[in-house]
């Protein structure tokens, strides 16, 4: 399956919260936090074509541009999946990821997934009917490896009946 990743600047490795204005960037293949779940994705034949990233402040100020460019990338690469995460309990990343995923889900044939923790309850409730929201632990909590493995399985097999899907 052909996958595009969507990360914030922190998960991409381009700075902390002070870099929330990081412009939209594109790297071939997987970068940053992808290394945490790379083996699980490879085992499930999830081929990461590229990683798109930006800061939430940049997204807020350039939303239409970001959505347009990601949309074009999905079409150009014929990606089958857009995966955003791990968002952990980062509210600004979760909201940005859910907005991107919802737009792509409704404008293309690409299936979208956002992995975040239950601490993002308001965003989960707002977007769970528009994109697949997958439960994972908050930053620093136990169970991360198990969650990342489950995320790869959910994406590869479109397991909408998984107990990790927010309902």
Taking 90 as the threshold, does the pLDDT of residue 159 lie above it? Answer: no
Q: What CA–CA distances, in Å, run from 79 to 3, 58, 100, 108, 144?
A: 5, 24, 15, 10, 26
What domains, with CATH codes, occur in the chain?
Answer: 2-157 (3.40.50)
DSSP 165: B
pLDDT in tens, 18-43: 999 999 999 999 999 999 999 999 99
Give per-residue pLDDT as tens, 40-75: 999 999 999 999 999 999 999 999 999 999 999 999
């Amino acid at each position: 399956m052909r996958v595009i990743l969507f990360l914030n600047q922190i998960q991409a490795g381009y700075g902390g919260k002070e870099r929330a204005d990081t412009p939209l960037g594109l790297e071939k293949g997987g970068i940053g936090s992808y290394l945490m779940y790379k083996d699980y994705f490879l085992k499930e034949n999830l081929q990461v074509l590229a990683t798109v990233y930006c800061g939430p402040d940049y997204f807020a100020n350039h939303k239409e541009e970001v959505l347009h460019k990601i949309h074009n990338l999905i079409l150009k690469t014929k990606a089958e999946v857009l995966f955003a995460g791990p968002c952990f309990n980062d509210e600004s990343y979760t909201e940005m990821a859910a907005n991107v995923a919802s737009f792509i889900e409704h404008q293309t044939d690409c299936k979208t997934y956002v992995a975040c923790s239950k601490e993002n309850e308001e965003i989960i409730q707002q977007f769970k009917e528009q994109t697949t929201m997958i439960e994972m632990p908050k930053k620093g909590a136990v169970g991360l490896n198990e969650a990342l493995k489950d995320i790869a399985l959910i994406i590869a097999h479109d397991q909408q009946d998984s107990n990790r899907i927010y309902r």
